[in-house]
Structure 1
Amino acid sequence: MLYEWIRGENNDDGDRPSFPNKKSRYILVIAICLGLLALIWPVTRTDKTGNSTVRTSTISNDKKLNQQLASELEYILSRIDGAGKVKVSISLASGGLKTYAANTRNESRAIEESQNGANKKTTETNMSRDLAVSAGAPLLVENKTPEVTGVLVVAEGAKSPIIQEKLVQATSTLLNISPHQVCVMPGGDI
């Protein structure tokens, strides 16, 4: 039937073709084929470099956070009387904790069957979780800063036990860590 329509052969019904010439019919068939091809053509592309870029930026963000925290601590500790020049090194447990939003779907289905007079009831439950995405990126709900595991403070004035104690107390208070996680060492020309 399609072949006859394209060729423009007359039907037994006496209907005349809706398109007056063969060229317009061929163009219509080609347009339909191109439309179907566009529908089935894969749209998504895999980008292998995108994943490594995300990891690199996460690592550099962790380093920036560590450096920023250390420089702020250096500035504050150097303001303590008798501390002199101060250098700080901070050890972090991890890159922190990031919590992303997820869409949860629960589906349950009950099936009742009777065989030979015996009733059988089966319940099937499915739960699926999908990552919530906003503007092409996962939706971040919570971002916890990394946990500080230890701090090394090197100060010119740390030769005095009183200054050492002040530096330990200030560091443990600022970073909310216990004093045994802070090590203060005297330093020469920093």
Structure 2
Amino acid sequence: MLDEWIRKTKDTDGEKKTLFTGKNRKYVLIILICIGLLALLWPTSNRSQLTPLPASLEVESQNRPAYTMELESILSQIEGAGEVKVSITLVSDGVKTYATNVRNETRETKESDSKGVTKNSREENLSQDIAVSSGNPLLIEEKYPEVLGVLIVSDGASSPVVQEKLVNATATLLNISSHKVRVMPRKGGE
């Protein structure tokens, strides 16, 4: 029924009138132009154009377990510390900066017509790509994660001497100030 109405409508005079004649023609043309502009301007996700970064580029939160395990291993070797558990709070997972190839192209054109009117136009294209060396991205700088604080639970932490050793060792290993390190005795420890 709707299909028939779109194809043909009857005027009050009884003559057939299609959708693309008379006043309707202007409205249909305007609607089609608007739909075309919307299709051109509608934001599209360029997921197919984005290339996923290799696993070596992704900043992962695996730094925390690695730091924790290494720190536990070292601190448990301190005399009187006993079994040690460590919890590290990081501000960030670190930052890796990669080299980029930057291309900047500028094109200027000057056009003048017979009336002496001059038109100047300038087109500038800037593109950046990650620089690759031997198939791997070229790393310029790597900032390690910033440590916010460390909590150490130790069997021997009830001794002030052991606490001081644990705090000093942790502050030295992580290059942080000692006020960011807390040592607590383990429940049921020495």
Q: Which consecutive residues of structure 1, in runs of 5 or more, have no partner in the other structure?
A: 1-44
How has the CA–CA distance of structure 1 residues 113 and 176 changed in structure 2, closer, same or farther, with 3 Å as cutoff? same
1:80 lines up with 2:82 in the alignment = no
Superposition deviation, residue 91 in structure 1:
1.2
State how 1:38-77 maps to structure 2 within 5 Å: 46=48, 58=58, 61-63=60-62, 65-77=63-75
Q: Is the 8 A contact 1:92 1:147 kept in 2?
A: yes
**What is the alpha-carbon distance in structure 2 between the residues aligned to residue 155 and residue 71 of structure 1?**
14
Give the SS at the match of 2:150.
strand
Superposition deviation, residue 152 in structure 1:
0.6
Superposition deviation, residue 89 in structure 1:
0.8
Superposition deviation, residue 80 in structure 1:
1.4
Query: What's the CA shift string for 1:6-45, capped at 9, x where partnerless?
Result: xxxxxxxxxxxxxxxxxxxxxxxxxxxxxxxxxxxxxxx9
Give the SS at the match of 1:154.
strand
Name the TM-score, length of structure 2 as normaliser: 0.57
Superposition deviation, residue 108 in structure 1:
3.4
1:176 lines up with 2:175 in the alignment = yes
Superposition deviation, residue 46 in structure 1:
3.1
Residue aligning to 1:96: 94
Q: Is the 8 A contact 1:98 1:140 kept in 2?
A: no
Give the SS at the match of 2:149.
strand
How has the CA–CA distance of structure 1 residues 118 and 66 changed in structure 2, closer, same or farther, with 3 Å as cutoff? same
Give the SS at the match of 2:172.
helix
State how 1:1-190 maps to structure 2 within 5 Å: 46=48, 58=58, 61-63=60-62, 65-110=63-108, 124=122, 126=124, 128-132=126-130, 134=132, 139-141=137-139, 142-189=141-188
Give the SS at the match of 2:80.
coil
**What is the alpha-carbon distance in structure 2 between the residues aligned to residue 174 and residue 123 of structure 1?**
59
**What is the alpha-carbon distance in structure 2 between the residues aligned to residue 181 and residue 80 of structure 1?**
20
**What is the alpha-carbon distance in structure 2 between the residues aligned to residue 148 and residue 165 of structure 1?**
19
- Residue correspondences, number: 141
Superposition deviation, residue 150 in structure 1:
1.1
Superposition deviation, residue 112 in structure 1:
6.0
Give the SS at the match of 2:187.
coil
Name the TM-score, length of structure 1 as normaliser: 0.57
Q: Is the 8 A contact 2:90 2:148 kept in 1?
A: yes
How has the CA–CA distance of structure 1 residues 181 and 124 changed in structure 2, closer, same or farther, with 3 Å as cutoff? farther
Superposition deviation, residue 107 in structure 1:
2.7
Superposition deviation, residue 178 in structure 1:
0.9
Q: Is the 8 A contact 1:101 1:138 kept in 2?
A: no
How has the CA–CA distance of structure 1 residues 125 and 150 changed in structure 2, closer, same or farther, with 3 Å as cutoff? farther
